[in-house]
Amino acid sequence: MSTPALATRHRLAEVRYEIRGELARRARELETQGHTLVKLNIGNPGAFGFRAPAHLQRAIADHIHDTDPYTHQQGLPEAREAIALFHRQRGTPDADADASRIFIGNGVSELIDIALRALLNPGDEVLLPSPDYPLWSAATILNDGRPVYYPCRPENDFLPDPAEIEKLISSRTRALVLINPNNPTGASYPRELLERIVAIARKYRLLLMADEIYDHILYDDARFEPLAPLAGDLPCLSFGGLSKVHRACGWRVGWAVLSGEAAQVTPYQHALDLLSALRLCANVPGQFAIHAALHGGDTISALTAPGGRLHETRRALIECCQASPHLQLSTPAAALYGFPRVVGKAAENFDDHRFALDLLEQEGVLIVPGSSFNVPYRDHFRVTLLPEAEVLREVFARIDRVLAGYC
Ligand code: PLP
């Protein structure tokens, strides 16, 4: 008789992370068999030839001899001071010079998990956007919480409706998560919308969590409005990092900044500190790049301005979707993704997973089906804007071929 397999945590059955899931595994198999693929599933700038700015690399190299010991659990003091200054400059209240409310982690990913673990008791609810970045759902579930999704509808340019958010609040709701600028939709939230959401958080005493990792990746006349200055004395945790704006995903550097009235946030601050201490500290080398990243000059605008690589790839996305009889696009104002919808005849009986698999098998292109982002519809998919424009144009020619085959 065979020995039974090891049982795993039951709630993992509720967790999905398709960005690196079954389709990506099939892609690896195809590559092993010698196929060349275009993989647009991960927003990983370094995999597309982008490099972290040289002055950030130099800051690490210059300090490599100082990186052997553990740091303070919340991160290197000088790096936290650099984050505090950056936040003070954008108007975050209480981004104090002693940086006691700043937590550096192994990417925003680790901090999302810590932030929810420090907050949730079994059955507590977290308001998440739909579509979401699926780590938010996974971390809510694995910390015994319950995701409650507020829709960001395609017909409303993927902006949420505060009235709908308010209707979803129950006595168990603890936090309201915003991903702005948004992955996967590229939406950038206007100030008056954020103000209405802050008013809801104030009315129901919710912790605001603002995932702002794409804060400076903006196109055309898009603006970024940080949430913490609008939240004022309300508890708010703002996330940022080096992975996207600074193209250094592999360094695993992210930060979370807690703002709000001391009497309200101090116990939560202590809980974050305890959980940070239990994992000792974040990777040290990358922390030495934080000051250079935040105060050493803008390196992203040249990529997002007309003529810049991200701008041109986004233009290719817009033009390809306009030219396609099968696609409709809500133009991304920000971030690194397009989230087109399949329309017309190709959309009849359309299934985003089957489409992703067909595109992979028939055309050697890996994308992420829209339903991976916790939406109730199955007619969207996500691509990153990281390849060269010409590569994206070729990808859309292949996408159109597969969609034409469905008609
Ligand atoms: N939040 C959002 C919205 C993301 O898109 C990502 C990565 O794609 C992360 C967080 C995780 O970033 P990090 O590399 O800092 O862990």
At 257-304, the pLDDT tens digits run: 999 999 999 999 999 999 999 999 999 999 999 999 999 999 999 999
Calpha distance 35→182 (Å, rounded): 32
pLDDT of residue 205: 96
Percent of the chain with pLDDT over 70: 99
Q: Report whether residue 241 contacts ligand 1, using a CB cutoff of 6 Å.
A: yes
Query: Residues 6 or more apart from 156 whose CB is under 8 A from it?
Result: none
Rounded to a whole number of angstroms, the distance between the first and last alpha carbons of the chain is 51
- Residue ranges in 151-282 assigned as alpha helix (H): 162-167, 191-204, 227-231, 262-278
Confidence band of 94 (pLDDT split at 50, 70, 90): confident
Nearest CA to ligand 1 atom 5: 183
Confidence band of 99 (pLDDT split at 50, 70, 90): confident
pLDDT of residue 119: 98
Q: Report whether residue 209 contacts ligand 1, using a CB cutoff of 6 Å.
A: no
| Distance of CA 33 from the midpoint of ligand 1 (Å) | 31
167 DSSP β-pair partners: none
pLDDT tens per residue across span 307-343: 999 999 999 999 999 999 999 999 999 999 999 999 9
Atom number, ligand 1, closest to the C-alpha of residue 249: 14
Atom number, ligand 1, closest to the C-alpha of residue 111: 16
pLDDT exceeds 70 at position 248 = yes
| Distance of CA 349 from the midpoint of ligand 1 (Å) | 32
Q: Report whether residue 113 contacts ligand 1, using a CB cutoff of 6 Å.
A: no
Calpha distance 227→16 (Å, rounded): 28
pLDDT tens per residue across span 124-133: 999 999 999 9
pTM of structure: 0.96
Tokens of 289: 């790049």
What DSSP designation does 238 have? E
pLDDT tens per residue across span 372-406: 999 999 999 999 999 999 999 999 999 999 999 99
Q: How far is CA 19 from CA 209, 296, 381, in A?
A: 23, 32, 11
| Distance of CA 26 from the midpoint of ligand 1 (Å) | 23
pLDDT of residue 224: 98
Q: How far is CA 171 from CA 18, 120, 206, in A?
A: 32, 13, 11
Calpha distance 46→258 (Å, rounded): 30
State the Rg of the chain over Cα: 21
In terms of Cα–Cα distance, which of 179, 176, 180, 168 is closest to 199? 176
Q: Report whether residue 368 contacts ligand 1, using a CB cutoff of 6 Å.
A: no
Is the preceding omega at residue 131 within 30 degrees of 0, hence cis?
yes
In terms of Cα–Cα distance, which of 253, 246, 215 is closest to 109? 253
Query: Residues 6 or more apart from 237 whose CB is under 8 A from it?
Result: 115, 207, 208, 209, 210, 256, 257, 258, 259
Query: Residues 6 or more apart from 210 whose CB is under 8 A from it?
Result: 177, 178, 180, 226, 227, 228, 236, 237, 238, 239
pLDDT tens per residue across span 229-246: 999 999 999 999 999 999
Task: Measure the CA angle with vertex 279, ends 62 and 74; round to 5°.
Answer: 55
pLDDT exceeds 90 at position 228 = yes
Task: Measure the CA angle with vertex 131, ends 155 and 199; round to 5°.
Answer: 80
Mean of pLDDT over the chain? 96
pLDDT tens per residue across span 154-206: 999 999 999 999 999 999 999 999 999 999 999 999 999 999 999 999 999 99
Asked whether 212 and 256 are in contact (CB, 8 A), the reply is: no
Q: Report whether residue 154 contacts ligand 1, using a CB cutoff of 6 Å.
A: no
- 3-state SS assignment for residue 38: strand
Nearest CA to ligand 1 atom 7: 43
pLDDT of residue 1: 67
pLDDT of residue 97: 65
The DSSP code sequence of 137-166 is HHHHHHTT-EEEEEEB-GGGTT-B-HHHHH
Q: Report whether residue 183 contacts ligand 1, using a CB cutoff of 6 Å.
A: yes
Tokens of 47: 């995999």
Range 359-382 average pLDDT: 96
pLDDT tens per residue across span 79-93: 999 999 999 999 998
